[in-house]
Amino acid sequence: MTPLWTARAIAAATGGTASGDFTVQGVAFDSREVTKGDLFIAMRGEETDGHKFIEKAIAAGAAGIVCETAVDHPHVQVTDSVAALNALGAASRARCHGRVIGVTGSAGKTGTKEALFAALDRFRPGKAHRSVKSYNNHVGVPLSLARMPSTADYGIFEMGMNHAGELAALTRMVRPHVAIVTTIAPAHMEYFGSEEAIADAKGEIFEGLEPGGTAILPFDSVHYDRLRAKAQMHAAHVVSFGLGEGADVRAVDWLSDGQGGSLVTAQVQDALLCFTIAQAGAHWVSNALAVLAAVKAVGGDLPAAGLAFAEMAGLAGRGARHRIAAQGGTILLIDESYNANPASMAATIGQLGDESAGRKVAILGAMKELGAGAEAYHAGLADPLVAAGVQFALLVGEEMAPLAKALEGRIDFEHVPGHSAAAARLRDVIRAGDVVLVKGSNSVGLSHVVTALTNGDY
């Protein structure tokens, strides 16, 4: 097996000094994630120092260490481990011969990244690489780059931000051949103040495009023209995707498949493709169109992508569906507990409304980082809940007070302070036959409610 990195290559990339010869097959900076054969990068942070966990990493199977002080294990000593991680990521990108895709957006980044990986891995098995989990920030992106095998034909990298300028730095590190903006929504509003400012910040992804690169934009967004103007400054090709007439890649027709997914006929520029998406909702149709645009741009296979959509299971916290045994029957749980903003909330509430059977229950957590408009954004979820036919809502977090007020006299609901209180109420408010949506910002901790439901601890 070709090693991911040799000690000599690590030292050359980072400007460090190797203690001797060794090879590694993976890279980690969290000792809890180290597996056999990994390189552990011991970084000093604001809250802890990775050097304290070197022995733990070695015990977990680390084959080498990047560190700032010499240790009695195979290592490369550097002056700054954080700078070394960035350098290793840059070196990985420099040796890459494949096509690289960058993904950003206010919602749908991780799902789109995973769908792209599934589509390209099906086309070239074992030759696609993507960032894991939601490693999309200033340390997650270089880590994901450093993990990319030199033999990869495709690299897919998710990039996030909550301040202007962050994405510009990340995209110049990734240097994508294709850059996707999935959608623009009022996420991180407290840092930006307007959706236009968010669109400008997301548009920074185009600044890192390689010569001849392609920008892929959401045609249905009210900020499409703004994004397109930014893209045209850096991209040789601009491709739009969406549900509306006029998009370069669009859904000609789509409908429910009766099993929680969608049947889609898509026009992909000069090609027509019919396929099934295992995931439910219009937002997943939109994600799929962005994926098809990118697959075509990097020379992938559209029919293989269509097959991949049909096989994709829901991601934990991002649409995973669980059928749970309950007294007298079962419960369908839709797990969207990882993240939330007003646009994604409305989309998934609408998806709940499309479920064909069962009492519809929404367990909704507060949406964070919305700034001065937070109260209005939360209250604004009342109409989507009523339109979806939701019969009961369990509202979690103090920010949900405006929504509680807006729902008075319209549907049954309870308002609780946190995830522990929500989990304690499950036995009384959930019953067999229910379809239950759980969604909120990750910091609210609704994953604990999902765990309680899936484990039957309620």
Give the pLDDT confidence score for residue 72 in this predicted structure.
Answer: 96
% pLDDT > 90, the chain: 78
Cα 400 to Cα 207: distance, rounded to the nearest angstrom? 38
Cα 72 to Cα 54: distance, rounded to the nearest angstrom? 10
Give the pLDDT confidence score for residue 316 in this predicted structure.
Answer: 79
Give the pLDDT confidence score for residue 365 in this predicted structure.
Answer: 96
Give the pLDDT confidence score for residue 189 in this predicted structure.
Answer: 65
Q: Which CATH superfamily is domain 96-311 in?
A: Mur-like, catalytic domain (3.40.1190.10)
Q: What are 333-379's pLDDT values in tens digits? A: 999 998 888 888 998 999 899 887 789 999 999 999 888 889 999 99
Q: What are 384-411's pLDDT values in tens digits? A: 999 999 999 999 999 999 999 999 999 9
| Structural domain boundaries in the chain | 5-79, 96-311, 320-455
Cα 250 to Cα 292: distance, rounded to the nearest angstrom? 10
% pLDDT > 70, the chain: 99
Q: What are 284-318's pLDDT values in tens digits? A: 899 999 999 999 999 999 999 999 999 987 777 87
Mean pLDDT of 221-234: 97
Cα 297 to Cα 276: distance, rounded to the nearest angstrom? 21
Q: Which CATH superfamily is domain 5-79 in?
A: MurE/MurF, N-terminal domain (3.40.1390.10)
Binning pLDDT at 50, 70 and 90, where does residue 47 land? confident
* 418 residue type, one letter: G
Higher pLDDT, 79 or 279: 79
Cα 296 to Cα 177: distance, rounded to the nearest angstrom? 12
pTM of the model: 0.84
Q: What are 419-434's pLDDT values in tens digits? A: 999 999 998 999 999 9
Cα 142 to Cα 159: distance, rounded to the nearest angstrom? 11
* 308 residue type, one letter: A
Cβ-count burial 351-383 (b if 16+ within 10 Å, e if not): bbbebeebbbbbbbbbbbbbeeebeebbbbbbe
Q: What is the CATH number of domain 320-455?
A: 3.90.190.20
CA distances to 104, 156, 188, 200, 277 from 166, in Å: 12, 18, 13, 12, 33
